[in-house]
Amino acid sequence: MAYKIYTRRNLADTTRDPDQIQIDELGYRNNLEDAKILANDYIRTRFFHKDTKLRENKNGLCTATDFCSYGATIIVEPIEIK
């Protein structure tokens, strides 16, 4: 199993405006621990709330959201390599 690490943010000015989703790929890692290290480094250096923690769901998806204006959600997503 490999992991894709990326951020997603909505650059729309208000909730009434059309969504302007921006996705930035940060990289790929071969194991979950390395993927979490990359995500946590991003949180420490780029998030406004630097104490934000990654949360993992039962499907192996990890996310953390920086709740601020134009804040990003970082996503660690398991992917299949064929």
Report the pLDDT value the prediction gives residue 44, as an integer from 0 to 100: 97
**Rounded to whole angstroms, how far apart are CA atoms 65 and 22?**
14
Task: Tell me what pLDDT residue 31 has.
Answer: 94
- Distance of alpha carbon 16 from alpha carbon 66, whole angstroms: 21
Question: How many angstroms from the chain centroid is the CA of residue 78?
Answer: 12
Position 51 scores a pLDDT of 96
**Cα–Cα distance between 9 and 49 in angstroms, integer?**
15
Please give the domain boundaries of the chain with CATH numbers for all domains.
2-79 (3.10.50)
Q: What is the mean pLDDT of each run of 10 residues along the chain (82 residues)?
A: 96 91 97 97 97 94 95 96 80
Inter-residue contact 29 to 3 (CB < 8 Å): yes
